[in-house]
Amino acid sequence: MKLSSDHVVNTFCKENKPALRVEAPATITVSTLDCYSNMLRQVGTEDTIIPSELINPATGPIYIENAMPGDTLKITINKIEIDSMGVVSCGDDCGPLAKHIKGHHLERIHISDGKADFLDKFQLQLHKMIGVIGVAPAEGSLRNSYPGRHGGNMDTNMITEGTTLYLPVFVEGALLAMGDVHALMGDGEVGGSGLEIPADITVSVEVISEKSYDFPIAEDDNNFCFIATAPTLDEASEKAVDTALEFLKTRLSLETHEIIMLMSLVGNLQISQIVDPEMTVRFTFPKKYLDTPYF
């Protein structure tokens, strides 16, 4: 099944009209625009002011017929196929380094043989990832630039090929949407942008009934990763370890203080991004220590 990038939304909201309806389990290929709605790709478009509603378009939403509030949506990222050119930008209005520059700057970056050619000087290793992926919140409408419990603009490097993302379902049909693929991005996204690029994302979607942790969890071959967002890094960090502890209590036959010690010894608290309207961090814990090393 395919969904073209003609169907984009700029909010996660239960009122958004479904672009596609599928019965899970299903495998879907979703075409995505870059986070600037592909408006900065042509030479001469550098100074284009992009209206805020065209920033971070997400393709969808996809209505998952059997997903109900309280379920978990299991999204396995099978493949991210990127275009051969993307853009990176920075400006005096975004992020902690904004004070060092004036105006907006943009570089177009060509990709070949699995490397991104930056300034004809550096051949950068790709790390393809999805910046925006989420479901509709229970109430109201969240702009795509916001990360949160529903997913959204998490800009988390671990959301990559081979990773499985678990999102809580808040509304009937879940209303899954995604976009803002990066060919690579460093942790923190400190300059305000990754290598922003159009892509085709192939995901397999399943519904896990009545098993919801109320926050996004990512899983790869080796780790579970608990993703948390809050207005400050301190609050996000506390939330990430709180949610990790909640999950680990169900997977380890240990006393709470013993789990905390183990988290301290083998878990890693990492910064996902510090440039979106709220901060996102993740706590990564190796699966090999769990009694049940699967979701």
Q: Pick from Ca ion, Zn ion, none: which does 153 bind, CB < 5 to 8 A by kind?
A: Ca ion
At its nearest, how many Å lie between Zn ion and the CB of residue 179?
9
Asked if 223 and 156 count as a contact pair (C-beta separation under 8 A), the reply is no
Q: Pick from Zn ion, Ca ion, none: which does 189 bind, CB < 5 to 8 A by kind?
A: none
Among 9, 87, 180, 284, binds Zn ion (CB under 5 A): 180
151 vs 168, which CB is nearer to Zn ion?
A: 151
Q: What are phi and psi of 82, to 5 degrees?
A: -105, 160
At its nearest, how many Å lie between Zn ion and the CB of residue 100?
21
DSSP tag of 196: B
For 9, the token pair is: 């939304």
10 vs 153, which CB is nearer to Ca ion?
A: 153
At its nearest, how many Å lie between Ca ion and the CB of residue 94?
11
What's the chain's Rg over C-alpha atoms? 19
Asked if 108 and 34 count as a contact pair (C-beta separation under 8 A), the reply is no
Strand partners, 227: 282
Asked if 284 and 158 count as a contact pair (C-beta separation under 8 A), the reply is yes
* Residue closest to Zn ion (Cβ): 35
Which helix (H) or strand (E) covers residue 228, if one does?
Answer: strand 223-230
Among 61, 86, 95, 131, binds Zn ion (CB under 5 A): 131
* Amino acid identity for residue 150 in this structure: H
Q: Apex CA 169: angle with CA 208 and CA 199, to 5°?
A: 90
In the region spanning residues 172 to 191, those forming contacts with Ca ion, defined by CB under 5 A, are 180
Q: Pick from Zn ion, Ca ion, none: which does 88 bind, CB < 5 to 8 A by kind?
A: none
Q: Does 155 bind Ca ion (CB under 5 A)?
A: yes
Q: Which residues bind Ca ion (CB under 5 A)?
A: 131, 153, 155, 180
Q: Which residues bind Zn ion (CB under 5 A)?
A: 35, 131, 180, 194, 196
